[in-house]
Amino acid sequence: MAKKKFSKEWVQQHINDPYVKMAKQKGYRARAAFKLIEIVDAEKLMRRGDIVVDLGSAPGSWCQVARERMVGAGGVVDGRIIALDILPMEPIAGVEFFQGDFREDAVLQQLSDLLQGSKVDLVISDMAPNLSGVSSADSARIQHVCDLALEFSQAHLRPEGTLIVKAFHGSGFSQIVEAFKHQFKRVVERKPKASRDKSSETFLVGRGLKHP
């Protein structure tokens, strides 16, 4: 019974959420679009001509933001937006999407092949593993996803490039921050206004590789 009440409460909150309403008005696929907008505005990121890789892109709201920022004359994306997710994603004009699990070597290789040696300006990751509620197991899963994003960035980012990942405060968070500081010259934590108050999510922004 309590579960039913909770889900009713969640639905009510979701309906009344101003970011959900704004996402509908602006045609974004998810309210998460506003989290990325706030971060890229604050950091002055995502320009025409950039190569952007979106890890865990479905349903596609972050790709929509990237497309808006990078569209040039004639409505064509100036640069490249490459996206992948374990789930299917409805196509977005100018976005190169493929479906696969980022944790698998074969999928990472596919992503590398797509880049054809080009260096990436910005890697964005809204990936969150399926959480079990067991904090030690969950923190290990979150850390694994962040480590993979860091490894990918080390291999593919331009020396002055940027990585944005979603992490969660709690067990293992300080280790993720340490790993970022080891790899990047500048590391900041950002909690966008569109993040729900109850959520422990925090976005880490790493800029400028220390060892390109």
pLDDT digits (tens, 9 = 90+) for 68-94: 999 988 889 999 999 999 999 999 999
pLDDT of 3 higher than 50: no
Let me know: does 166 contact 206? Beta carbons within 8 Å: no
pLDDT of 166 higher than 70: yes
**pLDDT recorded at residue 9:** 63
pLDDT of 42 higher than 60: yes
Strand segments, DSSP code E, in 33-177 are 51-55, 80-85, 95-99, 120-125, 157-168
pLDDT of 171 higher than 90: no
Catalytic member of 21, 166, 193, 198: 166
What is the set of domains in the chain, with CATH numbers? Answer: 32-209 (3.40.50.150)
Residue from 174, 169, 194, 207 nearest 22 by CA:
194
| Binding site per annotation, positions | 60, 62, 85, 101, 126
| Binding site per annotation, positions for S-adenosyl-L-methionine | 60, 62, 85, 101, 126
DSSP 197: T
> For this structure, is 44 an active site residue?
no
CA separation (Å) from 133 to 48, 124, 129, 166, 188?
41, 25, 12, 18, 27
CA separation (Å) from 45 to 130, 131, 133, 138, 173?
29, 30, 34, 30, 24
Tokens found for residue 98? 């493929």
pLDDT band for position 167 (cuts 50, 70, 90): very high
